[in-house]
Amino acid sequence: MGRITNDWVSTIEGSVFTTASSDAIKPPTNHVFIAITALTATDFDASGGLIAEDATKWANTADAAGDLADGSETVNEGSGGIQVTATNLDLPAGTTIYGRYTEIDVNAGQIIAYYARDGK
């Protein structure tokens, strides 16, 4: 699992601006989106709106990350998480979320998504 360090921003290699549309954005080959900043109130498309590199580690629309049963937590996954939907995650303007995402589709709003090398 990656760890954010004091100089993690230096790993950013570019960014993409997008608005609500029918087109998902994807990072360049061998890269992942590592931060998403909402420029206006934003939510993600319910099907395929926020696709994580590992759906059990990063909040996403494909699966519920960290959703093991209480008492079943492991070193790689926690419990109690729920799946992101278009109605349960509303990012206010100015909010940044972090993770490792391979695809983003905005349902409403505007974002800038920052990408870095995959590191694998």
* Domain-located, residue 81: no
* pTM for the full predicted model: 0.84
Per-residue pLDDT, 4: 54
- What is the mean pLDDT of the segment spanning 87-99? 91
Length of the chain: 120
User: Residue 96 contacts by C-beta under 8 Å, 6 or more apart in sequence?
Assistant: 35, 36, 37, 38
Domain extent at residue 25? 13-66+87-117
* Domain-located, residue 48: yes
Binned at pLDDT 50, 70 and 90, residue 109 comes out as very high
Q: What is the average pLDDT score of the chain?
A: 87
* Domain-located, residue 82: no
Pairwise CA distance, residues 112 & 120, whole Å: 24
* Domain-located, residue 60: yes
Q: How many domains does the chain have?
A: 1
Per-residue pLDDT, 74: 86
* Domain-located, residue 43: yes
* Domain-located, residue 47: yes
* Domain-located, residue 20: yes
